[in-house]
Chains A and B, each alone.
Chain A
Amino acid sequence: GDSVTQMEGPVTLSEEAFLTINCTYTATGYPSLFWYVQYPGEGLQLLLKATKADDKGSNKGFEATYRKETTSFHLEKGSVQVSDSAVYFCALSPNRDDKIIFGKGTRLHILP
């Protein structure tokens, strides 16, 4: 069945470091891909999305490119801030009904 695999955390970086969180997926057809972020004490919120191959989603300095050939959607940011500390979830929607399948999440700690 459809699934999402993302790198396990926690990931700890210093402020201004480069961030990559890996995400790969298994799906039939042409899913939409997402990154959600969960700040401490809050629910998940959509960070960015891409709906077809080679699309790049971007928001708040974060980027991810939909790579169909490698079935990947890695999250990147050039210079992280302490305020980016959160849990990041990669997700996909098979585009059948509105079901969304989430990865297990990656906790990110940014040190000042």
Chain B
Amino acid sequence: EAQVTQNPRYLITVTGKKLTVTCSQNMNHEYMSWYRQDPGLGLRQIYYSMNVEVTDKGDVPEGYKVSRKEKRNFPLILESPSPNQTSLYFCASTGYTEAFFGQGTRLTVV
């Protein structure tokens, strides 16, 4: 079964405490991306990766990092989270122009 798995589903953290949200796909897709979803703003792309070791900024990359050391995994790293990064985050894996999404991670930074 085609699957994108992201963890955790919910996370509450404090300002400045580094965190990582993991994402893994089982479809051997080359293209993966991270989005954040905020009320009234829709989905905004944070970073994307077109293959292993190839990453690039999306529309809202400030305050985030990513890595792509292997094809199946694409973690999102917040080195020093701030309250304005409180949001719902989605990982997506895309192949043949169809995107598969994870269940989402609801992050709250206090």
- Chain A residues with CB under 8 Å of chain B are 32, 34, 36, 41-46, 49, 51, 89, 91, 93, 95, 97-100, 102-105
| Pairwise interchain contact A98-B104, C-beta atoms closer than 8 A | no
Cβ–Cβ < 8 Å partners of A105 in chain B: 42-43
Main secondary structure of the interface of B (DSSP, over half): strand
Which A-B residue pairs are the 10 nearest by beta carbons? Answer: A104-B42, A43-B101, A98-B31, A98-B94, A93-B97, A44-B101, A102-B43, A105-B42, A32-B97, A43-B103
Q: Mark B37-67, 1 if CB is under 8 A from A, else 0.
A: 0001111000010100000000000000000
| Pairwise interchain contact A46-B31, C-beta atoms closer than 8 A | no
- B99 at the A/B interface (Cβ < 8 Å)? yes
- Total B residues in contact with A, Cβ cutoff 8 Å: 22
Taking the closest CB of chain A, its distance from the CB of B31, in whole angstroms, is: 4
Complex CA–CA separation, A36 to B99 (angstroms):
9
